[in-house]
Structure 1
């Protein structure tokens, strides 16, 4: 069984610029986990990517499992900042989240590995989703968003829409007859997803308005 360093090792291994080294290790771990997942990732490779002594991984993060959690929390924090749900605006959220996932493919791959390899969640994950669902619920109460569906279900559907093309099967993407990641194709899809979210979240009026029963 692999064990971490003792107190003497911690003192000897800690560099003068610990913050910079920790950031390098975290970035290297993010790339490693995104490529290989938790099970396939190797501490030696992470240290080599970062150009650091592998003992520092144990000093700063503990074991590989704890390092994976640190990577997930870091990525969740970045995604939360870039794709927040301020004011419960699901249309803006959908566009921002699509843009972020497109620009940060490692985040998308980490999310896939996390779903595949882990069936438990962290407090940070729960908190990030609770804030967003609460924002949607507030927008519904204020009449700015369709209230015919529970806030958690509406948010869940919009969440998946933001990844619908990026996670689409290659055979489906091939139907376009063009590069599925070309600027033109991505712009076309982004416009479509924005319109789709706008339609399903717009407040209802008439006989099936806010007072209509939830289906």
Structure 2
């Protein structure tokens, strides 16, 4: 029973931290607010996660597992379209990614994706106009550029534009 209680507390902390980090970023988030939302003490939050940075990393990992967009180096336009859809439907994911870029010096590790792009470039399947690291960052930026667009604007047109832009970026 205690293991289930601990797991429920961890889940409540992750859910509360997701909301807090999406709204306030890493610097603006407060462990006391997270703990209050999760209905536990701040001390318990520190016991489970060590601190705000570790909790942010746990939230990032949790979000990555929950969204699980399959990275397909042979269909980077489709990947960008799916990422755009996710961020359009769940703007809090986009905000979390933005805080990651703004407040952390190094981007989240995407080493396997960079290596897949590099290999596809060497095989002539993806353009070599830009280094693999830049291709990945450009694909992510194009997919994210309209994440905060008003819902009244044409989602289908924006999605097709994202896919077309990435297609033109990566075609050999």
Per the TM superposition, whether the score is higher than 0.5 is yes
Higher gyration radius (CA): 1
Gaps of 5+ in 2: none
Partner residue of 2:9 out of 18, 21, 24: 21
Taking structure 2 as the reference length, what is the TM-score of the superposition? 0.84
Match of 2:91 in 1: 105
- Alignment of 1:41 onto 2:41: no
Over 4 Å off, 4+ runs: none
Describe the SS at the equivalent of 2:154. Answer: helix
1:189 is matched with 158
Q: Where do 1:161-200 residues align within 5 Å?
A: 161-166=142-147, 180-182=150-152, 185-200=154-169
Contact 1:89–1:136 (CA under 8 A) maintained in structure 2: no
TM normalised by structure 1 equals 0.69
Is the CA contact 1:90–1:158 (under 8 Å) kept in the aligned structure 2? yes
Q: Counterpart of 1:9? A: none
Which residue is 2:100 aligned to? 114
Q: Distance in 2 between matches of 1:39 and 1:22?
A: 21
Matched residue pairs, number?
171
1:82-113 per-position Cα deviation (integer Å, ceiling 9, x unaligned): 1x323442112111111122222222112222
**Cα distance in 2 between the residues matched to 1:200 and 1:93:** 13
Q: Show structure 1 runs of 5+ residues with no match.
A: 1-13, 168-172, 174-179, 204-215
Mark the CA change 1:115 to 1:196 in structure 2 (over 3 Å): closer, same or farther: closer
Structure 1 vs Structure 2 CA RMSD:
2.3
Q: Could you tell me whether the CA contact under 8 Å between 1:145 and 1:201 is conserved in 2?
A: yes
Distance 1:108 1:49 in 2: 22
User: Structure 2 vs 1, CA of residues 87 and 160 (structure 1 numbering), >3 Å: closer, same or farther?
Assistant: closer
Q: Which has the higher contact order (CA 8 A, sep 6+)?
A: 2
Q: Give per-residue Cα distances to partners, 1:138-172, cap 9 Å, x unaligned.
A: 222333222343222222222211112225xxxxx
Question: Counterparts of 1:1-215 in structure 2 under 5 Å?
Answer: 16-79=4-67, 81-82=68-69, 84-120=70-106, 125-126=108-109, 129-166=110-147, 180-182=150-152, 185-203=154-172
